[in-house]
């Protein structure tokens, strides 16, 4: 990030502190909501928004635009890899390592009939 955004020393220190703190908070969040994927996702989204607001205050307008562009590229790459892995494994998973099977009534039969795939 330092190189791609051309951070000065002060910015580098501020960004490092921000990211270190966010990393700790994400770990705590994962522990708190272990097994509750939806709660984790909602809270991670809030944390990302807060991080972006903080970064916007630290970075110049041009640096922030570059940061957002790079983040979007990373998200697209991650989504592409996730899709490739799903295709490689045979499609959607039920969260238990088995392919999810959904019948014509949209009932999941892959993990005992959960509400997840309706």
Per-residue pLDDT of the chain (118 residues; tens, 9 = 90+): 889 999 999 999 999 999 999 999 999 998 998 888 888 899 999 999 999 999 999 999 999 999 999 999 999 999 999 888 888 877 655 554 445 555 555 555 555 555 554 4
Residue 37's pLDDT is 87
How do the domains of the chain map onto residue ranges? Answer: 2-89
Residue 43's pLDDT is 92
Q: Contact at 8 Å (CB) between 49 and 22?
A: no
* Residue 100 Ramachandran class (φ > 0 left, ψ -120 to 50 alpha, else beta): beta
| Cα angle 101-89-48, degrees, rounded to a multiple of 5 | 90
Burial class from Cβ neighbours inside 10 Å (0-12, 13-18, 19+) for residue 43 reads middle
| Cα angle 51-52-53, degrees, rounded to a multiple of 5 | 90
Q: What is the pTM of this model?
A: 0.66
Residue 118's pLDDT is 45
Residue 86's pLDDT is 85
């Amino acid at each position: 990030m330092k190189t791609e955004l051309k951070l000065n020393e002060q910015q580098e220190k501020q960004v490092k502190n921000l990211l270190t703190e966010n990393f700790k908070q994400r770990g705590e969040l994962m522990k708190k909501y272990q097994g509750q994927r939806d709660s984790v996702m909602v809270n991670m989204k809030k944390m990302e928004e807060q991080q972006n607001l903080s970064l916007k205050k630290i970075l110049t307008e041009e640096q922030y635009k570059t940061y957002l562009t790079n983040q979007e590229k990373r998200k697209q790459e991650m989504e592409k890899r996730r899709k490739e892995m799903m295709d490689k494994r045979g499609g959607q998973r039920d969260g238990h390592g088995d392919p999810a099977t959904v019948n014509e009534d949209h009932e999941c039969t892959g993990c005992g009939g959960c509400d997840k795939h309706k």
